[in-house]
Amino acid sequence: MSTHRKPADLRTRAIHAGSRLPESSAVPITPAIHAAAVSWFDSADELDAALDGKDFVYTRIRGENPVLLEEAVAALEGAEASAVFGSGMAALRAVFDAQGLAPGDRVVLPADGYGATRALFKRLADQQKVELHPLKLSDPDSVERLVAIRPRLVLAESMTNPLLLVPDLPAIAHAAHAAGAALVVDGTFTSPCLQPTLAQGADYALHSTTKWINGHSDATGGVVSGSHARIDPLRGARVLEGALLGPFEAWLTLRGLRTLPVRMAAHSTHALHVARRLREDGRVARVLYPGLPDHPDHATARKLLHGGYGGMVAFEIGGAGRAESFRFLEALRLCRPAPSLGDVTTLVMHAASASARRLTPEERAAAGIGENLIRVSVGLEDPDDIAEDLLQALQAVARS
Ligand SMILES: *Cc1c(COP(=O)(O)O)cnc(C)c1O
């Protein structure tokens, strides 16, 4: 009897050939991108265990690239575990939902924080009949007010957007815990490298990885870190709700994270230089940089930030309204007028019409965000080139 087997049909060969690598003990310097949404096993018992999340079988349950990114973020945060999400907003929503809030429960959030977060929390609070209490957490009396509110959940931002105010996290954590609340700290502006928010009392350390952690504006993502007890329920909810980070995005974000510590050190040095040069210019009414001694929260920033004051600088153009601020953006030649932060490129934004766009004019006024406020995410170009571009654009506004 012939042992010869009929060669498989071309359609079958096209689908099954080239699907397993030869045995190898090589470890690639850069991890592979695991694009497969589903995997199979020779052993049905292994498949059975994988469906409980013990191995990789279906990426909504557990994906290779997200797991590697989670391991790296947890290592930077000094956390037991991390969970990555498809965006920073998805991460914020997951943390809010995980609290199991009941009607009448109270949530504290920054009065001067990220506008989209405020809008999201408003929506979730309306749906769940929860009370929102915005507080300017960098005000010294906010700790006392927080205690009086008796919240179940407190959200703080490590450095607020766009005024770069720095709340005293250990004091807020103490008050939140005394009231029985969980504290989530959105550390997007400082990154895990400059501020260890878990060590300063946060229960959840959250970041939009779209910003500094990725660093190259080529993938959206979010991450939350903390104890196993805090993070496991977020992962469980993610399996059902599907707020995943895709394999390519996780891979790009991990690639960016490799240089986060050296980037943050350089961004901080460049930002201090740019802030000092802006302060010397008479057309600038006010410069806000936590690394400058005259910043209202310089002392707190000195206590809580390590290895630099971050890459964000804000300033006010003397006498400018919206029209002059827009002309300033259009006069930039090197810096990009783009509404984000954390890139190797310098990104410049008009705060009132971009990050604070979703606030009402009254909320903007209360937060101290005027039409002449410009926010700069200082990049890794030559810091003098960055400063000179900003100064020549100010000159163009003054001339027009
Ligand atoms: C950008 C940002 C977010 C939202 O993150 P996305 O990745 O855009 O969803 C949340 N908080 C802060 C402070 C941010 O800057």
Residues 226, 79: contact at Cβ < 8 Å?
Answer: yes
Q: Is 5 known to be catalytic?
A: no
- CA–CA distances in Å: residue 146 to residues 110, 135, 181, 304: 11, 8, 10, 20
Q: Is residue 35 part of a domain?
A: no
Quickly count: other Cβ atoms within 10 Å of residue 5's Cβ. Answer: 6
Residue whose CA is closest, atom 1 of ligand 1? 208
Cα-flanking dihedrals φ and ψ of residue 155, to 5°? -105, 130
Question: Do 386 and 344 touch, CB atoms closer than 8 A?
Answer: no
110 is a domain residue: yes
Q: Does residue 195 sit in the same domain as residue 253?
A: yes
Instruction: Tell me if residue 60 is catalytic.
Output: yes
- For residue 237, being part of any structural domain is answered with yes
381 and 328 in one domain?
yes
Edge to edge, what strands does the sheet with 153-157 contain?
81-85, 222-226, 204-208, 182-186, 153-157, 106-110, 131-135
Do 236 and 267 fall within a single domain? no
Same domain (yes/no): 80, 160: yes
| Residues 6 or more apart in contact with residue 17 via CB below 8 angstroms | none
Q: Is 211 a catalytic residue?
A: yes
Buried/exposed code over 142-175 (b: 16+ C-beta within 10 A; e: otherwise):
bbeebeebebbbbbbbbbbbbbbbbbbbebbbbb
Query: Do both 264 and 198 map to the same domain?
Result: no
Give the nearest ligand 1 atom to 210 CA.
7
Residues 6+ apart with CB under 8 A from 375: 161, 162, 312, 313, 314, 341, 348, 349, 350, 351, 355
In tens digits, what is the pLDDT along the chain, a chain of 400 residues? 455 677 788 888 888 888 898 999 999 999 999 999 999 999 999 999 999 888 999 999 999 999 999 999 999 999 999 999 999 999 999 999 999 999 999 999 998 888 899 999 999 999 999 999 999 999 999 999 999 999 999 999 999 988 999 999 999 999 999 999 999 999 999 999 999 999 999 999 999 999 999 999 999 999 999 999 999 999 999 999 999 999 999 999 999 999 999 999 999 999 999 999 999 999 999 999 999 999 999 999 999 999 999 999 999 999 999 999 999 999 999 999 999 999 999 999 999 998 778 778 887 887 788 999 999 999 999 999 999 999 999 999 988 7
Probe target for ligand 1 pocket from 204, 210, 245, with the most ligand atoms within 8 Å of CB:
210
Number of domains in the chain: 2
Ligand 1 binding pocket includes 190 (Cβ within 6 Å): no
25 in a structural domain: no
Q: Which atom of ligand 1 is nearest to the CA of 211?
A: 1
Return d(Cα 92, Cα 208) in angstroms, integer.
9
Same domain, 226 and 366: no
CA–centroid distance, residue 347 to ligand 1 (Å):
15
CATH number assigned to the domain comprising residue 130: 3.40.640.10
* Per-residue CA distances from 131 to 149, 204, 356 (Å): 10, 21, 22
In angstroms, what is the span from residue 135 Cα to ligand 1's centroid?
Answer: 19
Residue from 287, 268, 270, 265 nearest 384 by CA? 270
Does 206 fall in a domain? yes
**C-alpha to C-alpha distance for 348 and 363, rounded to whole angstroms:** 22
In a shared domain, residues 143 and 239? yes
- Do 318 and 189 reside in the same domain of the chain? no
Whether residue 253 is found in the same domain as residue 276: no
pLDDT of the residue at 113: 86
**CA 18 to ligand 1 center in whole angstroms:** 41
Residue that terminates a domain, selected from 223, 238, 257: 257
Tell me the residue range of the domain where 152 lies: 60-257
